[in-house]
Amino acid sequence: MKKIKLALGFLTIIPIHGTDPYLPGDIGRAAGWFPWIGALLGLIVAGVYYGLSQIFAPLLTAVLSLATWITLTGGLHLDGLADSCDGLLNTSNKERRLEIMKDPRLGPFGGIGLILIILLKFACLYSLPTHSLWFALPLAAGLGRWLLLWAGKQPLARPSGLAVDFASGLNKNSFILGAMAVFFLAVLAGYAAGWHSLAAVAFVHLLAWLIFKIANSRLGGMTGDIFGFIVELSEAAAMLIFCFKL
């Protein structure tokens, strides 16, 4: 139960009160629940979308549903995406890029990245067939958080920080539990949507691999901001696959 509370409290704004002390690496040990929490988030957003669609036009429904999604996560991963865009797209050296990513101010690349990812997610929500919401959104959100486990096993750019604490607690059980969630979500989505499910799983893993390579080349490894970058891009990419009309 402690691990579920940790995962829920870390990934959402839902207030979780517990008496258990936090130990180094606990968040990594709780990471197996991340895809399950992601699936829950996706299911909540799908429910919100369905409810709003009964009283509002599709455009407003998509906007309010995306606002709900961002609110539930506290914009945690969007912040990482913005910082990652500022750092990765900077033309200086690795050390300077890492400094830029720690700067709380929003740079031009970060602003552009935020606008583009929000527009893409909005367009996907607006374009998704209503019957696809119930499995596409849980799979997209679950995959995004599953990839955090793989990101935690990559080389790290800094000797300390959230990414290091997270990576130190990752273990075999985390991966088994997380993989169970992805398998369950993919099979469920595959039964309902066919090839879209398999394509989404394959595409986001390829995308994550490319991000790993880019981060290692330009930063020297993963950071907490890159983790958020991966979540946001993979969610949008998975949703995009489900928007294909083929």
Instruction: With a cut of 60, say whether residue 19 has pLDDT above it.
Output: no
* Over residues 100-106, mean pLDDT: 89
In this structure, is residue 23 part of a structural domain?
A: no
* Over residues 27-51, mean pLDDT: 95
Nearest to 80 by CA among 154, 25, 145: 145
In this structure, is residue 7 part of a structural domain?
A: no
Instruction: With a cut of 90, say whether residue 25 has pLDDT above it.
Output: no
Q: According to the model, what pLDDT value does residue 241 have?
A: 95
In this structure, is residue 21 part of a structural domain?
A: no
CA–CA gap between residue 55 and residue 96 (Å, rounded): 50
Entry field: residues in the chain: 246
Instruction: With a cut of 70, say whether residue 163 has pLDDT above it.
Output: yes
Q: According to the model, what pLDDT value does residue 57 have?
A: 95
Average pLDDT, rounded, for the chain: 92
Exposure string for 50-75, b = 16+ CB within 10 A, e = fewer: eebbeeeeeeebbebbbebbbebbee
- Count of the separate structural domains present in the chain: 1
Q: According to the model, what pLDDT value does residue 229 have?
A: 96
**In the chain, pLDDT over 70 holds for what percent of residues?**
98
In this structure, is residue 9 part of a structural domain?
A: no
CA–CA gap between residue 139 and residue 116 (Å, rounded): 22
In this structure, is residue 106 part of a structural domain?
A: yes
* Of the ranges 1-10, 19-28, 107-116, 157-166, the best mean pLDDT one: 107-116
Instruction: With a cut of 70, say whether residue 133 has pLDDT above it.
Output: yes
**In the chain, pLDDT over 90 holds for what percent of residues?**
73
Instruction: With a cut of 60, say whether residue 5 has pLDDT above it.
Output: yes
First vs last Cα of the chain: how many Å apart? 42
CA–CA gap between residue 182 and residue 201 (Å, rounded): 9
Contacts of residue 30, defined as CB under 8 A and 6 or more positions apart, other chains included, come to 2, 3, 4, 6, 7, 10, 169, 174
Q: According to the model, what pLDDT value does residue 91 have?
A: 86
Instruction: With a cut of 90, say whether residue 174 has pLDDT above it.
Output: yes
In this structure, is residue 75 part of a structural domain?
A: yes
Give the number of C-alpha atoms closer than 13 A to the C-alpha of residue 83, restricted to the C-beta side.
24
Could you give phi then psi for residue 245, rounded to 5 degrees?
Answer: -90, -5
In this structure, is residue 6 part of a structural domain?
A: no
Q: SS3 for the chain, per residue?
A: CHHHHHHHHHHCCCCCCCCCCCCCCHHHHCHHHHHHHHHHHHHHHHHHHHHHHCCCCHHHHHHHHHHHHHHHHCCHHHHHHHHHHHHHCCCCCHHHHHHHHHCCCCCHHHHHHHHHHHHHHHHHHHHCCHHHHHHHHHHHHHHHHHHHHHHCCCCECCCCCHHHHHHHHCCHHHHHHHHHHHHHHHHHHHHHHCHHHHHHHHHHHHHHHHHHHHHHHHCCCECHHHHHHHHHHHHHHHHHHHCCCC
pLDDT: which is higher, 20 or 28:
28
CA–CA gap between residue 124 and residue 235 (Å, rounded): 10
Helical packing angle, 133-151 and 172-193, nearest 10° = 150
Instruction: With a cut of 60, say whether residue 60 has pLDDT above it.
Output: yes
Asked whether the whole model's pTM tops 0.85, one would answer yes
* Over residues 161-186, mean pLDDT: 92
In this structure, is residue 132 part of a structural domain?
A: yes
Domain containing residue 73: 29-242
Nearest to 11 by CA among 165, 117, 145, 125: 145
**In the structure encoding, which two tokens stand for residue 228, read together?**
């958020």
* Over residues 174-199, mean pLDDT: 90
pLDDT digit string, tens, across residues 112-129: 999 999 999 999 999 998
